Chain A
Amino acid sequence: MSVATRDRVESPPERPRRAGGRRFRISENVAGYLFLSPWLVGLFVIVIGPMIASLYLSFTEYNPLTSPSWIGLDNYVRLFTDDPRYIASLKVTLIYVVVSVPLQLAFALLLAMVLDKGLRGLSFYRSVYYLPSLLGSSVAIAILWRRVFSGDGLVNSFLGAFGIEGRSWISEPATAVYTLVALSVWTFGAPMVIFLAGLRQIPDMYYEAASVDGAGRVRRFFSITVPLLTPVIFFNLILQMIGAFQAFTPAFVVSDGTGGPVDSTLFYTLYLYQEGFASFRMGYASAMAWVLFVVIALFTALNFAASKYWVFYGDER
């Protein structure tokens, strides 16, 4: 449909000489769409289709073993009025997002600055530091994490060397979520690589000029590096924030799928999964998914709105 419509707009019919060209252009477009088709099929079959289905299901009571029955807004009402675990999972997730994302970005920027110093064997270090990002969301690392932060784990052995007696960080409700924050910070590779690319874009002459004017390292960092890097920081912030809202694997593996101890690692998506698959409330889980979608969209929109005040694009003014 869209192929034909667009074509008509582009080649007015009152020019008969173009008739051959028009047919040709149609077939060229068809080829284009056919090339796109694997992606298009994927988009409709495994993204948009299920999204619409889950929107419908979110208004139903749906035990996946039977058929859904329409209950209107009940699921949404229950989410916010009658489910303390949901509110708890929302809190845990927000803590995770608010703590882990800035920490991770700061860490990534710090290492990017170090690596930007023109180290010998830079590409080697870059790869090494990127590795955790590739492994970070994997099951193996989450299991390793459980060991590292357990009662007799690596962290406590290290603390023990200084005479500090640690505890089981991962099974203590007060600290469990921060072990997951640590895991997220550890996977700083992806934003780091992007920061590195961003740092390369800043012309050396700015720094030279600033040095001549007597600006020290700190001054140069805050007056040149940060302002010129804000678009990259913004990009990383959005990306990591969306990722953090959707974090699932680490919490799932570290807590054996329970979100424990006592719901202290009950991430939003983990609770959603539990409700849908373990408690057979797929309609409720769908409602949760849509609320998450809206929450992420809101946070992203807020960030974009706020970006006007702190993100500096070189071509403005």
Chain B
Amino acid sequence: MTVRTTRQRAVTALTATMCALLVAGLAACGSDGDSAGAEGGDGDVSLRIAWSGSDERNTRTQDALDLYMEQNPNVDISVEYTTATNFWDRLTTQVAGGNAPDIIQMSGQVLSQYATSDVLLDLGPYVDDGTIDIEGWEEEPLEAQTIDGTLYGIPPGLDGHALVYDATKLQELGIEPPSETWTWSEFADLAREIAAAGGEGYYGTEDGGPQYEVLQSFLNQRGKQLFDGNELGFEAADVEELWQFWGDLREDGAAVPADLQTAQGANPENSGVVQGYAAMDFTTSSQYTNFVGLSPGEVGMATYPFGDDGAPGQVWRAGMAWSVTRTSANADEAAKLIDFLVNDSEAGALLQTTRGVPASPTIREEVLGTVDETEQRSFEHLETVQAHDAQVTPVLPTGFGDFNDLYQRLYYEYAFGRMTLEDAVGQLMSEAPGLLG
């Protein structure tokens, strides 16, 4: 009997311990989501803000947010930042779980998807009542965040399509760098000239074929658009002409071959200009400082080539925007914070060009005075692009990501010689419409 009681007691004790552990575990799980906001007294506001990007963007944004919290002691901001790869998976999951952050760094590539899925809040009222001040801003970047008359985001920064080139190499080869209003023919000649002078294994340019930005400029030069609402804005003949252009350059060894090209990925560090096997690459002005920082030699920045008839077809963008989610409990405070991030002088000084050239003209002017020569080039480049009757990338349709994947995949099918030009373009034209809208 005594033995049994002892065992019984032991069992009871163990049971209690397990209960305690279990309860503690569950409690820990439950409190995970709102730890930042739980503390503090009445009137306190907690905001969650999420973005992706480089370390420098992270530190500088954190500094700006710290400043805001200093100025507004009642506001408590918790930040969530990740690399670009993980950002959207995480955000999608959070939205699906009803746990979205208050403020999101939206991307133009998925804005439609999020806006039409009723995830984002109409920021129009905050602009109307002056919470977010867009006095004196260019209109186009804001239009690029507007769907059916509803403003879904405030762009923090701008950039322009740009072509970067290895200036040291060109000098070495005794070749003149491109002019501001050069054309695709001049570009092709230059690429061939460089390849001929550069010797075995050196190419004039990275292949612009798989990049939709190149198609976009190319179409603009023909008075067309990538998209007309949710429909394609181009015909098979347009793409065939463009892909043929790149196919010829590849054949002549002027553009990098397909297997080199696919290895490069999307990052400047993998670009032929940085790696030293190609003289030119297509990018945006906001990447320019990265190219400069990564390259052993000097890097120059030029415009995308003009059409052979002189049509500029230049493009600038507000590629990202601060958006507020509909589920935000503190939307008013979120709008105030966005205004601070895009319009406050001190914030501007901290954030600098980590999201492109500041969208607010006032802040742009202020920041321009404080940055180094390399950064100033991206300001100048934006002005150059704007001066040439440029277009702002409009709102991209839902399904743009799928379109872009398809476009690249079919280009490579063609580039690897696994499909003929006609077949690849034919498949693009038949499959792409189903992906949009």
Contacts and interface: CB of A to CB of B under 8 A. Distances in A.
B88 interface: yes
Contacts of A282: 96
B263 A279 contact: no
Contacts of A35: 14, 18
A260 B409 contact: yes
A261 B25 contact: no
Interface in A255-290: 256-258, 260-263, 274, 277-280, 282
A7 interface: no
A170 B95 CA distance: 36
A74 interface: no
A249 interface: no
Interface stretch (B53-61, B335-343, B411-419): B411-419
B405 interface: yes
Contacts of B93: 64
Given A64-B92, A66-B117, A171-B260, A257 B85 contact: yes
Nearest to A33: B18
B370 interface: no
B258 interface: yes
Given A27-B11, A66-B118, A277-B88, A34 B19 contact: yes
B263 A262 contact: no
Interface in A197-227: none
Interface residues of B, number: 43
B416 A173 contact: yes
Interface string A17-40: 000000010011011001101100
A49 B273 CA distance: 50
A278 to B, nearest CB: 6
Nearest to B431: A84
Contacts of B266: 256
B69 interface: no
B114 interface: yes
A261 B22 contact: no
Nearest to A174: B416
A65 interface: yes
A35 B15 CA distance: 8
Nearest to A150: B263
Contacts of A167: 259
A137 interface: no
A151 interface: yes
B18 A65 contact: no
21 contacts: A24-B4, A24-B7, A24-B11, A31-B11, A34-B14, A35-B18, A63-B117, A64-B92, A65-B95, A66-B117, A151-B260, A151-B263, A168-B263, A171-B260, A260-B412, A261-B258, A261-B412, A262-B418, A277-B92, A278-B405, A279-B401
Interface of B: 4, 7-8, 11-12, 14-15, 18-19, 21-22, 25-26, 85, 88-89, 92-93, 95-96, 113-114, 117-119, 258-263, 265-266, 399, 401-402, 405, 408-409, 412-413, 416, 418
Given A31-B11, A34-B15, A64-B92, 9 more contacts: A27-B8, A31-B15, A64-B96, A65-B113, A65-B117, A168-B260, A258-B405, A261-B259, A279-B402
Interface of A: 24, 27-28, 30-31, 34-35, 37-38, 41, 63-66, 146, 150-151, 167-168, 170-173, 256-258, 260-263, 274, 277-280, 282
